[in-house]
Amino acid sequence: MSKLREELRLQWKGIKLSKVISGKYYILCEIMSELLPQIAAYTSAYFSGRVITALSEKLPFAVPLRYALLAVSSVLVIWVIRRLFMRQTMIMRRSRYFRREAMLTGKALSLDFAQAESAEVAALLSRVEDNSDLFMGISSQAWQVSKIIANVLSVVIAVSMSSGMVMSKSEAELHGILKVVDSPVFGIMFALFVLVLIFLSIVANDAAVKRRFKAHESRGKVNALWKYYYDRVLNESGSGEDIRIYHEKPLIYEEMRERVFGAVRRIHSVFLHTDTTFGMVSTIVTAVLGGTVYLFVGLKALSGAFGAGKVVEYYAVLSQMILSFTTIAREIGLLRSNSIHLKEDISFFELESKMQNGTRTAADINTDKLEFEFHNVSFRYPETEPLVLHDFSFRIRSGERLAVVGRNGSGKSTMIKLLCRLYDPSEGYITLNGIDIREFEYSEYLKLFGIVFQDFNLLSFSIAENVACSTRYEADKVWNCLEMAGLGERVEKMPKNINQCVTKLYEEDGIDLSGGEAQKLAIARALYKDAPFVILDEPTAALDPKSESEIYARFDEMSGGRTAVYISHRMSSCRFCDRIAVFKDGTAVEEGTHEELLALGAEYSQLWNAQAQHYTDSSL
Amino acid sequence: MKKKEKGSYGYLSNLRYIVTEQWRYSKAYIIAAVIYSPMDAIAAVIASFLPKIVLDCIEDQTDALQLITRVGSATLLFVAAKVLSGFLNAYCNNKRLVTEFCYWQPKLYEKAMDMDYHNFVFNSTRVKREKARDSLQKGNGTDMYIEINIRMFSAFFGFSAFTAIIVQCNVWFIPVLIACYSLSAVGWKLLQKFRDKLKDTRAAAILRMRYVSFRSKDFSEAKDIRVYGMQPMLEEKTQTHLSEVTELLKRENTGHLYNVLLEDVLKFGISLGAYAYLIYLKLNTDMSIGDFALYFGAITGFGEWLSRLVDMFSELLEGTHYVSDYRSFLDLKDTMRKTGGISLPSDDELPCKIEFKNVSFSYKEAEKATIEDFSLTVNPGERVAIVGENGAGKSTLVKLLCGLLLPQRGQILINGKDSRDFNRDDYYRLFATVFQTVNILPASVAKNIALCEEDKIDRALLEKCMRLANIYDKVQSLPDKENTLMVHEIHEGGVSFSGGEQQRLLLARALYKSYAPILILDEPTAALDPIAENDLYRQYSTFATGKTSFYISHRLSSTRFCDRIILVENGKIAESGTHNELMEKDGKYADLFRLQSRYYEEVEE
């Protein structure tokens, strides 16, 4: 019982969500679109029956014609109403994919970074996307519900129109078969026969739907792989080079053969098998019932229970009723199998931010003095074993320019992620001016940082939007920041200046930037934010010597009175920072000035010499 | 031009194309489809005779047994037709879907992978590719083409059968009915035109919307979005595109509404006319009630078959467009030599000598030539460093050399032979490259390095290259070692590498292609720490032994182990020589070197 209640609650949630995804009156429109043609069939059956009756009674021309007029005009009126509903339905159905996409986008954007990056959420998201593509879950639920409602209503109408028929009796004296036909037992037997066949069809349908759904699910995996190839391997001009130079085609074919083609064939042979076994039952039942109903109605009429007009009417009503029954059976089966996908969809849309969000506001932060401190912080990425930071204690002083160096994987970039709370430490804590950073309101806290990540990403929107991170921006300020990042001249030469889009993925006339230009744009973005704390993570990796030296020279200007952290494999960057921290295996092993650390002769001097020798040793 | 293109893919041409291709992939589908096509019509004819049989029996007051026999045999026939049609329909569906995934889609992928690179990167190609792909996602696109044709034939059979019935009553019904329905066909034609007009606008809006949502959900973007608070901007764009798409849908559906309303009114007129005429006949001739029902059913049913015919016809028109979209992408002409061609340099002709002779190149959209009148001779086995500012044309130069891009003027010679005389795909065998973009396939680590089929992987070479590229230990630490699958979003338990590890993987790739006589590394140390960088420098001479090599980098330190340094500026050679020569010359290179080494040298003072 509680299971049923839970199921109903789930369906109800789905319906509420579908109002957002498909539109407020979606269900009503679907019901009307499904029900009205059936009502038209009933009115038409009723009046055309009257036409036949009038004809067999040989009434004058005007009488049958009047009924004929009623038959066709009622159909016209109902269909016109249905068309109006259908227009809305079609718009809602077709835009649903996009609305849903918009909702998914909104939800994805509202997730915590840790959530967005977790494999669990990624898996859920991909299932939800599959649901959308394969018309499962929330997309189909409301449709199924409306079909069930409409057809139940239709059955009610049909039963009330034809109930008199089963028990109807003839007034004439009957013999043989017709006497049997006339008895009420025959009517009941017939009704039972119909019900048994319909039941059979329901059972077969249920089995068919279950099998189909199971096969459908494994389609999701294939689709994800398929999409990856299209979106990343074939779609970006970047991979086109490697595919050609390395003759990757046979490999990609092998991968597709192994992981796609076989699976697709397997899945569809399940469909075929189901369609030709369980799926056939309802086809046969419908066809057999079609004939049987005629037989029954015909025999009844032959016995004199009613006239030829009623034959036409009853047949039309009964066959519509059988159709409705089969639809109900099918849709209930679909609805039941769909509920697992509905659950996935709903649980995605119900994901809540897990991040502890404090209450301290901007007023609690003294931006003139920003002192961050890591207290015995240890950290491992979710679902992984190794500690990336290990009992890490470290202080960043207000207003200093700090260089952070260390080997690949020593924890430099991870420190940044913890600092801006993309992750929270596994152990230990971080303070700002002595206050645990988790106590600040997150959106306010984030305003402190201007960060250029090592693996930064630009969007294919306009330059100005990329710099301001908003559709509304101050053009002068954008120009200033571009200028400061050393990109001003380049943008001035673009036909649309700051309104020029980056890459052609969003606008046809977008301009591709080189790696170095992109980096400068990312720096301009950090500058525009005017944050008191600037972090540059490997900002010159893709820059030519001239741009690199420009960035170095501007670093002073850019950092102004701000606190600045500069992470780089370019050891030269250490020369213009106040202090250097050397990371190794997840802890800060050395701290001090260039001279101090070089004199120490340990990790730092190794790093330094590995690079400096090529510039200083003329014998090389 | 565009019109001519469209004209070359008419209905018959497309049908022939699709049937030929389908026949190649699965003959059974076509045979099943042909048998299937009249089934619906047969079932419908039986169904329309059923009421006549019953009503005739009642009017004639036949005995019950006769009614049972007649209705029973008609029912049996009806069930048989339905079952056969059900089987064939399921079979055809199966074949159609399998063909879509295992034939039509892969064909598209193959083309994208096979066409000349310089065509591939054009924006117009991208649009065509999107359209071709779209053509497989419509209800009446390329993959559905046989299906719609079958449905049209099926409609035609039904139409013919019903015509035959109606002619028994009055032949004049046929032209009148056809006239009515042609009126509605005109409406559909107009709507089609309207839709075609909106097609591109809609495609553009959808493309943009997809872009925004793809990036918003993409976790590689997640950091920047959150730290810079870009959510409102992305939300706003999503909503803008959503309302654009919805607005277009509304307009389309309004057009649709007018058409169906017109149809409803026509149907009303036809039914009323049929009633009036048949009632008149019934009252004034000896027509039976059964015939009355048969004819009335046939006349109103005729409309359904006719409109199905018309519907299918317009679906077919639209579908023909889609097939044309599909074909026009596949038929994009390549200009490079793909058959024949001179043979690659033999082993004793290696390493290669490379010459650029007055090469000029400009990307179509750019106003200025990226490479201008560029000439350079690289001796066999020479190690060349290419340096220069961002955007100087270094990467373009490399792409020209690899045969990815074609020079607009001038030529590139390999051992004195024009690069264009080689077979395009053979020519690629000459190069082992590390480009700046990182492309990881959702396959095993081993396959990502060897980039060939499983049974062709040379395991010994693979291990050697992993060791050389310093990634062996990392790979050994993975659960399935080199057989671990990559890309964790696709494969459960799949591995994703960090930036430095990816760079090493790419290096291993280039080393694995050991037979290639020309090695090109484009900024291979950007993500490596100083010690790993230094290791690579020291190993470089091993990598480049017996090869002609190009090393592109902004780290001028790396130029020290090359034989010659080429400084590229505005697509031309600004300076050329060894490090010492260029330092002595005290030109632009010396300036750059001093700029970068300044911070290191101060220590020495």
Interface test with B, best of A53, A105, A419 (most B CBs within 10 A): A105
Question: Which of B51, B90, B265 comes nearest A279 by C-beta?
Answer: B90
B265 and B410 housed in the same domain = no
* Exposure string over A179-206, b if 16+ CB within 10 A, otherwise e: eebbeeebbeebeeebeebbeebbebbb
Residue A469 zone, left/alpha/beta (φ > 0; ψ -120 to 50; rest): left
Locate the chain A residue with the closest alpha carbon to B254: A87
- Give yes or no for B84 touching A (CB within 8 A): no
Closest CA to A13 of A346, A338, A332: A346
pLDDT value of position B384: 92
In the predicted model, what is the mean pLDDT of residues B216-238? 83
Query: Does residue B522 belong to any structural domain of this protein?
Result: no
Query: Does residue A18 belong to any structural domain of this protein?
Result: yes
A284 and A425 housed in the same domain = no
> Minimal Cα–Cα distance from B410 to chain A, Å?
22
pLDDT value of position A271: 87
Closest CA to B136 of B305, B330, B2: B330
- Give yes or no for B287 touching A (CB within 8 A): no
Question: Which of A117, A283, A287 comes nearest B219 by C-beta?
Answer: A117
Interface test with A, best of B42, B116, B441, B514 (most A CBs within 10 A): B441
Counting as low any pLDDT under 50, the low residues of chain A are 619-620
B chain contacts of residue A239, beta-carbon cutoff 8 Å: 437, 439
A chain contacts of residue B228, beta-carbon cutoff 8 Å: 469, 525, 529
Locate the chain A residue with the closest alpha carbon to B500: A408
Ranges of H-type helices in B358-498 = 394-401, 424-428, 445-450, 459-468, 472-476
pLDDT value of position A618: 57
B135 and B11 housed in the same domain = yes
A chain contacts of residue B217, beta-carbon cutoff 8 Å: 104-105, 108, 125
Task: Return d(Cα A434, Cα A364) in angstroms, integer.
Answer: 11
pLDDT value of position A578: 83
3-state secondary structure of A251: helix
A219 and A244 housed in the same domain = yes
> Minimal Cα–Cα distance from B12 to chain A, Å?
30
- Give yes or no for B83 touching A (CB within 8 A): yes
B chain contacts of residue A278, beta-carbon cutoff 8 Å: none
- Answer yes or no: do B452 and A250 touch at CB < 8 A: yes
- Give yes or no for A68 touching B (CB within 8 A): yes
CATH number at residue A561: 3.40.50.300
Query: Does residue A96 belong to any structural domain of this protein?
Result: yes
Contact (Cβ atoms closer than 8 angstroms) between residue A370 and residue A563? yes
Task: Return d(Cα A610, Cα A619) in angstroms, integer.
Answer: 15
Q: What letter would DSSP give residue B517?
A: S
Question: Which of A122, A234, A254 comes nearest B489 by C-beta?
Answer: A122
Give the list of residues 6+ apart from residue A597 with CB closer than 8 angstroms, or none.
A580, A582, A590, A604, A605, A608
Which one is predicted more confidently, B369 or B380? B380
- Token pair 């310093």 is found at B470
- Answer yes or no: do A547 and B600 touch at CB < 8 A: no
Q: How many CA atoms lie within 13 A of A620 on its CB side?
A: 17
The model's pTM is 0.79
Question: Which of A177, A276, A547 comes nearest B90 by C-beta?
Answer: A276
Residues B393-417 pLDDT 10s: 888 899 999 998 889 889 999 998 9
- Answer yes or no: do A301 and B59 touch at CB < 8 A: no
Q: Which residues of B, range 411-440, sit inside 8 Å of A by Cβ?
A: 425, 428-429, 431-433, 435-437, 439
**Range from A44-48, A449-453, B63-67, B597-601 carrying the lowest mean pLDDT:** B597-601
Count other C-beta atoms under 10 Å from residue A307's C-beta: 16
Query: Does residue B458 belong to any structural domain of this protein?
Result: no
Question: In the listed set A318, A349, A380, which residue is the last one of a domain according to the structure?
Answer: A349
- Give yes or no for A79 touching B (CB within 8 A): yes
Locate the chain A residue with the closest alpha carbon to B264: A76
- Give yes or no for B256 touching A (CB within 8 A): yes
- Which three-class secondary structure string do you get for B449-479? HHCCCHHHCCHHHHHHHHHHCCCHHHHHCCC
A198 and A52 housed in the same domain = yes
Query: Does residue A390 belong to any structural domain of this protein?
Result: yes
C-alpha distances out from residue A606 to A577, A581, B16, B424, B599, Å: 19, 14, 71, 47, 16
Query: Is residue B567's pLDDT more than 80?
Result: yes
Query: Does residue B300 belong to any structural domain of this protein?
Result: yes
Which one is predicted more confidently, B574 or A176? B574
Question: Which of A71, A101, A312 comes nearest B209 by C-beta?
Answer: A101
CA A424 to chain centre: 27
Q: Which helix (H) or strand (E) holds A29?
A: helix A26-56
B220 and B322 housed in the same domain = yes
Give the list of residues 6+ apart from residue B122 with CB closer than 8 angstroms, or none.
B364
Question: Which of B55, B72, B231 comes nearest A109 by C-beta?
Answer: B231
- Give yes or no for B242 touching A (CB within 8 A): yes
Residues B305-344 pLDDT 10s: 887 887 888 788 888 989 999 999 999 888 888 888 888 8
Query: Does residue A430 belong to any structural domain of this protein?
Result: yes
Residue B440 banded pLDDT, cuts 50, 70, 90: confident
Dihedrals phi, psi of B371, to nearest 5 degrees: -120, 130
Residues B270-280 pLDDT 10s: 899 999 999 99
Q: Long-range contacts: B46-49, Cβ < 8 Å, 24+?
A: B46/B74, B46/B77, B46/B78, B46/B81, B47/A290, B47/B78, B48/B162, B48/B165, B48/B294, B48/B297, B48/B298, B48/B301, B49/B74, B49/B294
- Answer yes or no: do A248 and B451 touch at CB < 8 A: yes
A254 and A376 housed in the same domain = no
CATH number at residue A189: 1.20.1560.10
A323 and A368 housed in the same domain = no
> Minimal Cα–Cα distance from A393 to chain B, Å?
23
Residues A415-456 pLDDT 10s: 888 888 888 888 899 988 888 888 888 888 888 888 888 778
CB pairs under 8 A between A and B: 491
Question: Which of A48, A68, A80 comes nearest B261 by C-beta?
Answer: A80
- Answer yes or no: do A291 and B50 touch at CB < 8 A: yes
Q: Which residues of A, range 87-106, sit inside 8 Å of B by Cβ?
A: 87, 90-91, 94-95, 98-99, 101-102, 104-106
Residue B604 banded pLDDT, cuts 50, 70, 90: very low
Query: Does residue A385 belong to any structural domain of this protein?
Result: yes
- Answer yes or no: do B441 and A233 touch at CB < 8 A: yes
- Answer yes or no: do B276 and A68 touch at CB < 8 A: yes
Locate the chain B residue with the closest alpha carbon to A574: B599
pLDDT value of position A158: 92
> Minimal Cα–Cα distance from B300 to chain A, Å?
11
- Token pair 């009249």 is found at B38
Name the domain count of chain A. 2
Which one is predicted more confidently, B123 or A447? A447
CATH number at residue B370: 3.40.50.300
A134 and A18 housed in the same domain = yes
Name the domain count of chain B. 2
Kindly provide the ipTM of the predicted complex, given to two decimals: 0.82
CATH number at residue B27: 1.20.1560.10
A565 and A424 housed in the same domain = yes
pLDDT value of position A617: 62
Locate the chain B residue with the closest alpha carbon to A60: B283
Which one is predicted more confidently, B51 or A544? B51
- Give yes or no for A244 touching B (CB within 8 A): yes
pLDDT value of position B512: 93
- Give yes or no for A184 touching B (CB within 8 A): no
A400 and A298 housed in the same domain = no
A264 and A144 housed in the same domain = yes
Q: Which residue type does A581 have?
A: A
A380 and A339 housed in the same domain = no
Locate the chain A residue with the closest alpha carbon to B496: A119
Contact (Cβ atoms closer than 8 angstroms) between residue B469 and residue B505? yes
- Answer yes or no: do A294 and B528 touch at CB < 8 A: no
> Minimal Cα–Cα distance from A545 to chain B, Å?
6
Question: In the listed set B287, B302, B330, which residue is the last one of a domain according to the structure?
Answer: B330
- Give yes or no for B605 touching A (CB within 8 A): no
Question: Which of A64, A240, A294 comes nearest B50 by C-beta?
Answer: A294
Query: Does residue B469 belong to any structural domain of this protein?
Result: no
Question: Which of B71, B109, B442 comes nearest A298 by C-beta?
Answer: B71
Locate the chain B residue with the closest alpha carbon to A117: B219
Structural domain boundaries enclosing B361:
345-430+547-599
* Rounded percentage of chain B residues whose pLDDT exceeds 70: 97
Task: Return d(Cα B360, Cα B409) in angstroms, integer.
Answer: 5
Structural domain boundaries enclosing A271:
2-349
Closest CA to A287 of B56, B77, B51: B77
Locate the chain A residue with the closest alpha carbon to B81: A287
Task: Return d(Cα A384, Cα B170) in angstroms, integer.
Answer: 82
Give the list of residues 6+ apart from residue A99 with CB closer than 8 angstroms, or none.
A20, A21, A22, B242
B150 and B56 housed in the same domain = yes
> Minimal Cα–Cα distance from B5 to chain A, Å?
23
Query: Is residue B86's pLDDT more than 50?
Result: yes
Tokens of B9: 């893919």
